[in-house]
Structure formats: structure tokens, C-alpha cells
Amino acid sequence: METYTSIPEDLKLAVLEKIKPTEAERKKLTAVQEELASEVKAAADKLHVPDICVKMVGSAARGTWLSGTHDIDVFISFPEETPRKDLEKKGMEIAREVAKYAEYAEDRHAEHPYLNIIYKGFDVDLVPCFRVASACQLKSAVDRTPFHNEFVKTRIEGREEDVLLMKQFMRGGGVYGSELKTQGFSGYLTELLIIYYGSFEKTVKAASSWKPGQKIDIMQHSELEHTEPLVIVDPTDPRRNVAAALSLDKFCMFIDHCREFLKSPELKFFFPSRPLPVEDKEFLEILESRKSSQLAIVFETPDVVDDVLYPQLYKMEQAAASLITEYDFSLIKTGVWSGKTETVVMLELISAALPNVKKRIGPPVWVREHAQKFKGKYEGDENVFGGYIENGKYIFEVQRKYTTAKGLLEDRLLNSSLGKQVHQSVSKGFEVLEDAEICRLKDQDFRVFLRKWV
Amino acid sequence: METYTSIPEDLKLAVLEKIKPTEAERKKLTAVQEELASEVKAAADKLHVPDICVKMVGSAARGTWLSGTHDIDVFISFPEETPRKDLEKKGMEIAREVAKYAEYAEDRHAEHPYLNIIYKGFDVDLVPCFRVASACQLKSAVDRTPFHNEFVKTRIEGREEDVLLMKQFMRGGGVYGSELKTQGFSGYLTELLIIYYGSFEKTVKAASSWKPGQKIDIMQHSELEHTEPLVIVDPTDPRRNVAAALSLDKFCMFIDHCREFLKSPELKFFFPSRPLPVEDKEFLEILESRKSSQLAIVFETPDVVDDVLYPQLYKMEQAAASLITEYDFSLIKTGVWSGKTETVVMLELISAALPNVKKRIGPPVWVREHAQKFKGKYEGDENVFGGYIENGKYIFEVQRKYTTAKGLLEDRLLNSSLGKQVHQSVSKGFEVLEDAEICRLKDQDFRVFLRKWV
């Protein structure tokens, strides 16, 4: 174990000054929450839906939200025995009634439908749910949230600032957010870490020695084996790993972030400077200095939410990588970026071109049947440069099918296993930009991605 | 087992017509052999060396020599108890006495010294040896030859033509000759195959189904395990594998040659057309059509015999290949050619250039000590493009040390493990020719090598 000096108090204060909601912010939030609760009750009464409870959940309800974020989660809970159809119908009717006073409303869908509204500047989710006796008897995943709320609320008091510090610290390390795009730490997971380790500082110190398989079971009630790198058994459900969505790389990035921070605790770990977009000239200079091959597969961004889009993009990234390596190109790395109109899968290769000649290694000469079949296939073929025996095996030098990675992708990418919406979009058309051609992509957010890429 | 029609008699006759010594050739050889025997005896008498026997050994003595070859092996055998020093001194004195009548003489050295002379147009080796009771009690390797001679002579009668056919057939397949350059079949080995299988045809048929580990033990007296692909236990020495010098590839080339011949028995398997030297224009066209990278390491041919030179060249070929692949270049194949003045180690690569950027994969982040050491080594270094975490491991993109294979070879080839004389010669200077630059090498024999190469 390495020893560290403590994290300076004034550093924490400096961070909190930027992220802790002000008294005014707090008051406004409370007022809006109360208003929303009344609106829901009123709507239920108006629509003659009895036995409804309104629950404020999420970080706003627990005092662990970051200043500047304006998210409120309002759960409209129905008795457990309510038929699902009724819950969905009536729940949404109530939500729509509330939405009459909103600036904006949009139907959304998780396991069941919910309504997202903008209400007095706040981003509010109105979520119908079942009121179940315990989190083990869930009817759907959202029903779990009130239990999380209960568990955290009673234990986090006095440590809200540690949660805020940790959330901002994770943001700074690029590992905050459990949506499928990020595959990082959720808010609830962060709160559990603070509850378990006791403080921001203790969590950072502990995490810097984490190894895959790290398990935290606050309630000592785990019922299942988990294989994810980090296992935080849900205190409200002995079968669930709260960190199931955390990827190995985000797990490791967090460990690394903790270690580096402990070496020199500075503000930049909470507020890293945002990289500047790369300009054409600089990008061309970087290409010249790296001398590798950059390929950008560009297509129209499919019109689906991130949680649908990103798993498909990561799948496509994998598919492109497999295709490229299957045909002998050497990959340096792959990446994904998606903007409003265009989406890009990036590939960096040792070289985007290969010689015409390709060496085919056959079976050993003495494995007679196979060897003769192999030889028969290539000998005398006009696409064959020549043949010989090497290490006891027949070798034929044949014409390579794809001598450029671009040609390969253009010809075979659509045969790869792609997700539904990505496949649809790529089918409509895509282009493969090489090196300097990538300057065609002007989106400034892409240029920021490109800065980190090269 | 596949079935074949027999090898046509007229094909065999057509071959024999070209390779079987004529009656005149035979008579001349016999006459010269007798002359040499008398000369040796006369010399021994003159020098007062008693108890000397003269033995004619080798293919000339067994009637299995190919027309046009003019090799005679004269063994001058001394009593077993002769001190080695005396044998060498007196043996060479006798040989030199005989050499007085020769057109040319040259001292050579195997396990002990012998004299090579040109005598009436014949290439004659005069070899002093011990007269031991059996091949197991050898004092040196040459002493074995008379035993081989005895064994073959008594068994080969009537099958000399089969030996001739087999020798020429092996020549046609490029597998004849057990010297270290070729690593193929020796004459004695060929004779043993004919003795064991009974005829040229039977040998060809059997060999086409050989597998590594094939063992033939005519005397059923093997005393050792051998690991070579083909094991022919020496009938005169139960511990020796006559095929020990045969390489796996020559073994396989012979199998392949036999199979192809049996499919369509034609004259070309005995007398393949010699490839024409490649001209500049054609070579440039081939380069353009293959689009791979050709490198020729050229240096002065060391002044040593082939049996010393070639093992060193093959070692250098291996060393260059290891160096090239160690530094991430992808090898297609390697080869060696040596002429009177210049020697060439050829390398064909996927590409002779690599990008500046090289991906260094470090230990997993959670193997803390190693991981931090790795990170500390690269982070902030000016030769590092960037770093990230991938599959749980630290990755750094660093400046590649050698971006061209030529630069790599020029800088590090001499640090490789090279044989003594080759190292001496390469140390004096070498150049690395790339692609079209290879046209600088005009030697017509090299151009023939190049034809087979591309």
C-alpha cells in the first residue's frame, strides 16, 4: 500500500463552490417539486384515479444533485395489484394532465411508457410505477427506484457533499454515467460507494487498489455470482449488481484517475480542460507525423435514442475491426463518434494498403489428401504468383482480394453483423474517408473527438 | 492409397540414354582407376610405407555414377594401429607423390586432410583412412566409406540403372546432394532406398506416402532414436542415420516430386527446363504486379568452401528474418544466393515501411506496480503520441524506432548472431538494395535465382 497525504480541504471547498447547489437553487427545486406533487394529485383526483402516491426520487430528492443540473424524477405509484395495462393508461393520462402546464412534453419508453417534460426550466420525468412490498418483487425495473431512494436517503445525510465531489470527480475522469454510451458509474452506484467507504477521500484511496472482481455487499445478502469487474450488490435486491453496466475500461479509467489524483490532488481532476477542436492544418500535420492510415466510415445518424444507438455503434466498431483484421490489415485502434446528422466509426491502421501478393499457407505435404486438395486449388491458377514448400507445408503466393481497407469496407461492411437501425442507415449509403479527406467533417464536436483520437 | 499406372519403359530408356555412362566412358574410368591404384602403390613403395591398401569407393566404383560426372574416390587405407599423425603425414606424402602426374592439386580438409586432384580430366579425391574392422569402430567419418562401398556393391548389382534413374530424378526435383547447401539426398542414401524398395518405381511409389518419422532399417539393428524427418539406419552402423542431413523441406519436396511424377510421368521430372535469367524490364514489371517490398542484403562472398559458407548464410537468413519481425515488419519469405564475388540474402516483406506510431501494450491497470512503472516510463515522454486504456491495459502510442526495414538492417544486422566468416565479410561492408535497386545485381545466375524467387 502506498501512503498519501490527505486531500486538501481547500481543494474540496473550491470544487464544492462550483458544484453545490446554492440555497436559492435548493429552494426553487423544493418549490417546483412540491408544485409537481400537487399537480399529480390534482390530476389523479380530476381523472378519478384513487390510491395514488407521488414520490420524488433521484438525486434531486436526496440532495445529491450537482448544481446546474435540473433533473426531477416524479414517480406516480399505483397499488401493486393494478393491471399493467391500467397502470400504463392511467399513469400516462395523469402525466399528460400535468404536462398541460409544461413548456414541452415528449413520450418516452423504458420498460413501460413515461413522460418527459420541461417544467419551469426543469427536466422532469413523470414515471408511473407499481408500489411493491420489496425490491425483490419488482414488476419492472423502474419500480426499484423508490427503494433505492429510501435506502440512500436514510444513510447519506451529512455526506451529500462527498457524493457531489465524487460525481464531479468521475465526470472529470470521463467515467460518470451508466447509460450505454458511457458504461460508467451511475448516481446510485456513487452514493453506495460513499455509504460503504464513508467519504470521498476514503473511496478514492480504496478504488486506487481495486482489481477486477472487487465486491461490495453492504447488506451481506448477495445471492448470485457475478462476473463483472466491479460487483456492488444492490442493498435493495440481493440478486442485482448495481455496477453491471460498468465496462472494464471505465473501471480501469476510474482506478487510474484515483491514483493520479492522489499523487497530486488538483482541481483539473474535477474540471479537466476541454480539448480544443482540431483544425485542418493541425490535423494534416498530425497525419504527417504519425504516418499511419486513418479511415472514417461516415453515415447518417440513425434517429434513435443513445441507449439504442450506442450499443449498435460499438457492435459496428467491432464488426469493422474484425473485417479489417480478417483481411490482414493491422489495426492500431478503433473509435466511435456520433453527432446530430452524421456518425463516424474511426479506424487507425498500420497501413490502409497491402501488396497484391498474399501468402497462403497450406497443410503439411504429408497430410496427403488435404495437401493435394490445397495444391490442386491453387496450382496453375492465373491469380497465383507461385508456390513452394516451407516448413513442410505447401505455400502459394496468391493475388490478394482486397488490397485497400477502403475497398474492403465498401464491399463487405454491409455483410457484417450490424444492429438494426445502424444497418438501415448504413444501407442507405456510407462513405469511407481516408486521411486528409477526413477534413471534410467540420462538426466541432467531432473535431474535439479527433483531438483526443490522434 | 492411390493407384497409378506403371512408369512407361520408354521413358526410363529415354532418361537412361542421357545419363548412363557409355561403354567408352566406362572403359576410360576403369583404366584411370587402375592407373591411380598403381600410382598409389608405387608411391607407397617409393616412400617405404608398408601395409597400404588402395580402395576405389564411391559411385564410380559401384557403377552408379551419372554420365558426365568424373569423380573418383581413392582411399588409401592404413593399418588401424597407425598413429593419426603418421597417417596424415604419410598419407598426404603418398597423395602428393601421385599428384605429380596431375593437372591440378589442392589440399582439402574434412576430419583429416586429403588431396583433391584433376587427373586426366577426372576429379579425384585421394583420401588417407584407417582400415578398421567394422564401421562401428571408426576412427574418423571417412573410414566409414569403404564399408558403405562393400555393403552397396554386393547388393546393387543388376539395379544400377534404378540408382541412376533415382539420382537423376532427385536432381530434377532439386533434392539431390547431401552437402550443407542442398540438405538433400546423398548418393549412398539413394542406393539404400533402391536396395530397400527394390526399384526406382517402387521407391517413388513408396515415397509419395512418406510422413515425417519414416524409418527404414535394412539390417534391423537400430540402436538410437532419431528425430529427423527421414531415418535410414546405416546398415554398417546401427547408431547412424544416413538421412540425418536431409531437411524437412527437401524431404517434402521429394514426396511432392514423386506424387506429381506418378500423376503424369514425363521427362521434365528428370530434366526440368532451367529458368531463364530475369531481365531488368521484366523484374520491374513483376515488382509492380506484386507490390510487395523486396530487399537484397548484398556483401562480398566469404572465401570459404560451401559446407562452411551455407550454414552461415542460412543462419544469417534466420537472423535477418528475426530482426525484421521483432521490429514489426511482416515477412513474406527469405532466401539466399551466393555467387563468386557477391552474396545476397533476399527478404520479401508486406511493406518495407511502417508508420511512425507504434502501439505499446502495457500490463493491466490493476497490476499496480507493473502498470505504474509502465505508465511512468511513457507518460509525458516527448516521443509519445498519447496514451489510453484498452481492454483494461495501459496503451501508449510511441514513436517507432525503425520505420524502414532498410534502416533497421543497416543499424542492427551486425549485432545479430552471424557465423564467423559471414560476420567478417558483412563487417567489411554491406548494402541493402530495395526493389528496383536490385537491378544493380547483374550476375546471370542470380537472375535465375530471382526468376524462381518472384
What does each C-alpha distance from A67 to A144, A171, A313, B402 come to in angstroms?
25, 13, 32, 52
In this prediction, residue B136 carries a pLDDT of: 73
Q: Once rounded to an integer, what is the mean pLDDT over residues A65-90? A: 91
**Is the per-residue pLDDT at B157 higher than 70?**
yes
pLDDT one-digit tens code per residue, B425-448: 999 999 999 999 999 999 999 999
**Is the per-residue pLDDT at B318 higher than 90?**
yes
Q: Once rounded to an integer, what is the mean pLDDT over residues B115-120? A: 94
**Is the per-residue pLDDT at A450 higher than 50?**
yes
Residue B224: give its domain's CATH number: 1.10.1410.30
The answer to whether the beta carbons of residues A335 and A346 sit under 8 Å apart is yes
User: Do A179 and A318 belong to one domain?
Assistant: no
User: Do B284 and B421 belong to one domain?
Assistant: yes
Q: Once rounded to an integer, what is the mean pLDDT over residues B238-259? A: 97
Domain presence at residue B152:
no
C-alpha dihedral sign at B156, B162, B167, B168: positive
Q: Once rounded to an integer, what is the mean pLDDT over residues A261-272? A: 96
The answer to whether the beta carbons of residues B354 and B328 sit under 8 Å apart is yes
Residue written as cell 477542436? A277
In this prediction, residue A110 carries a pLDDT of: 75
Q: Once rounded to an integer, what is the mean pLDDT over residues B64-84? A: 91
How close does chain B come to A109, measured CA to CA in Å? 32
Q: Once rounded to an integer, what is the mean pLDDT over residues B399-411? A: 97
Domain presence at residue B5:
no
Tell how strand B230-234 and strand B214-216 pair up.
parallel
C-alpha dihedral sign at A286, A288, A293, A299: positive
User: Do A432 and A285 belong to one domain?
Assistant: yes
Domain presence at residue A29:
yes
Are residues B389 and A253, on separate chains, in Cβ contact within 8 Å?
A: yes
Contacts of A350 in chain B (CB under 8 A): 328, 354-355
**Is the per-residue pLDDT at A73 higher than 80?**
yes
Contacts of A255 in chain B (CB under 8 A): 365-366
Residue A407: give its domain's CATH number: 3.30.70.590
Instruction: Name the pLDDT band for A132 (thresholds 50, 70, 90).
Output: confident
Domain presence at residue B256:
yes
In this prediction, residue A58 carries a pLDDT of: 85
Instruction: Name the pLDDT band for B226 (thresholds 50, 70, 90).
Output: very high
Residue A49: give its domain's CATH number: 3.30.460.10
User: Do B227 and B329 belong to one domain?
Assistant: no
Residue B395: give its domain's CATH number: 3.30.70
User: Do A73 and A113 belong to one domain?
Assistant: yes
Contacts of B251 in chain A (CB under 8 A): 392
Domain presence at residue B448:
yes
The answer to whether the beta carbons of residues A51 and A86 sit under 8 Å apart is no
Pick from A106-120, A383-397, B207-221, B315-329: least confident: A106-120
- How far is the C-alpha of A49 from the C-alpha of A38, rounded, in Å? 14
In this prediction, residue B1 carries a pLDDT of: 47
- How far is the C-alpha of B180 from the C-alpha of B170, rounded, in Å? 16
Q: Which 3-state string (H, E, C) describes A276-311?
A: CCCCHHHHHHHHHHHCCEEEEEEEECCCCCHHHHHH
User: Do B417 and B392 belong to one domain?
Assistant: no
**Is the per-residue pLDDT at A208 higher than 70?**
yes
Instruction: Name the pLDDT band for B3 (thresholds 50, 70, 90).
Output: low
Contacts of A285 in chain B (CB under 8 A): none
| List of residues 6+ apart from A291 with CB closer than 8 A | B355, B356, B357, B403
Q: Once rounded to an integer, what is the mean pLDDT over residues B102-125? A: 90
What does each C-alpha distance from B150 to A402, B144, B200, B330, B452 come to in angstroms?
61, 10, 21, 52, 40
In this prediction, residue B396 carries a pLDDT of: 96
Contacts of A396 in chain B (CB under 8 A): none
The answer to whether the beta carbons of residues B124 and B116 sit under 8 Å apart is yes
Q: Once rounded to an integer, what is the mean pLDDT over residues A314-327? A: 97
Q: Which three cell numbers stand for residue A308?
A: 439504442
In chain A, what percentage of residues exceed pLDDT 90? 87
User: Do A227 and A131 belong to one domain?
Assistant: no
User: What is the torsion angle, in degrees rounded to the nearest 10, for the CA atoms of residue A190, residue A244, residue A174 and residue A159?
Assistant: 0
How close does chain A come to B262, measured CA to CA in Å? 13
**Distance between alpha carbon B290 and the CA centroid of its chain, in Å?**
29
In this prediction, residue A4 carries a pLDDT of: 60
**Is the per-residue pLDDT at A97 higher than 50?**
yes
Contacts of B328 in chain A (CB under 8 A): 350
Range of the domain at A382: 357-399
Q: What average pLDDT is seen over chain B?
A: 94
Q: Is B41 helix (H, G, I), strand (E, B) or coil?
A: helix
Q: Once rounded to an integer, what is the mean pLDDT over residues A134-155? A: 84
Q: Which chain B residue lies closest to A291 (C-alpha atoms)?
A: B355
- How far is the C-alpha of A357 from the C-alpha of B350, rounded, in Å? 8
Structure letter (DSSP) for residue B380: T
Instruction: Name the pLDDT band for B255 (thresholds 50, 70, 90).
Output: very high
Last residue of a domain, one of A220, A253, A273: A273
Option in B209, B255, B332 nearest A359 (CB): B332
pLDDT one-digit tens code per residue, A148-199: 999 999 999 999 999 999 999 999 999 999 999 999 999 999 999 999 999 9
User: Do B99 and B171 belong to one domain?
Assistant: no
pLDDT one-digit tens code per residue, B169-204: 999 999 999 999 999 999 999 999 999 999 999 999
Pick from A80-84, A440-444, B264-268, B338-342: least confident: A80-84
B130 forms bridges with which residues in the sheet?
A: B78
User: Do B290 and B348 belong to one domain?
Assistant: yes
Are residues B249 and A372, on separate chains, in Cβ contact within 8 Å?
A: no
Option in B255, B292, B403 nearest A355 (CB): B292
In this prediction, residue B72 carries a pLDDT of: 92
Structural domains of chain B, count:
4
Q: Which chain B residue lies closest to A212 (C-alpha atoms)?
A: B366
Q: Once rounded to an integer, what is the mean pLDDT over residues A393-420? A: 96
In this prediction, residue A69 carries a pLDDT of: 85
The answer to whether the beta carbons of residues B183 and B202 sit under 8 Å apart is no
Domain presence at residue B15:
no
Instruction: Name the pLDDT band for A1 (thresholds 50, 70, 90).
Output: very low
Instruction: Give per-residue burial for A280-302: e unless 16+ CB within 10 Å, then b.
Output: eeebeebbeebebbbbbbbbebb
Last residue of a domain, one of B142, B176, B195: B142
Tell me the one-letter amino acid at A240.
Answer: R
Option in B251, B365, B397 nearest A252 (CB): B365
pLDDT one-digit tens code per residue, B276-314: 999 999 999 999 999 999 999 999 999 998 989 999 999
Taking alpha carbons only, the member of B82, B6, B13 closest to residue B44 is B82
Domain presence at residue A152:
no
Instruction: Name the pLDDT band for A139 (thresholds 50, 70, 90).
Output: confident
In this prediction, residue B437 carries a pLDDT of: 98
Q: Which chain B residue lies closest to A329 (C-alpha atoms)?
A: B350
User: Do A416 and A329 belong to one domain?
Assistant: yes
User: Do A395 and A411 belong to one domain?
Assistant: no
Inter-chain contacts counted by CB atoms under 8 A, chains A and B: 109
Q: How crowded is residue B104: how many other Cβ atoms within 10 Å of its Cβ? A: 10
Whole-number CA gyration radius for chain B = 28
What count of residues does chain A have? 454
Domain presence at residue B236:
yes
Last residue of a domain, one of B142, B174, B200: B142
User: Do A207 and A260 belong to one domain?
Assistant: yes
What count of residues does chain B have? 454
pLDDT one-digit tens code per residue, B334-360: 999 999 999 999 999 999 999 999 999
- How far is the C-alpha of A160 from the C-alpha of B267, rounded, in Å? 93
**Is the per-residue pLDDT at A240 higher than 80?**
yes
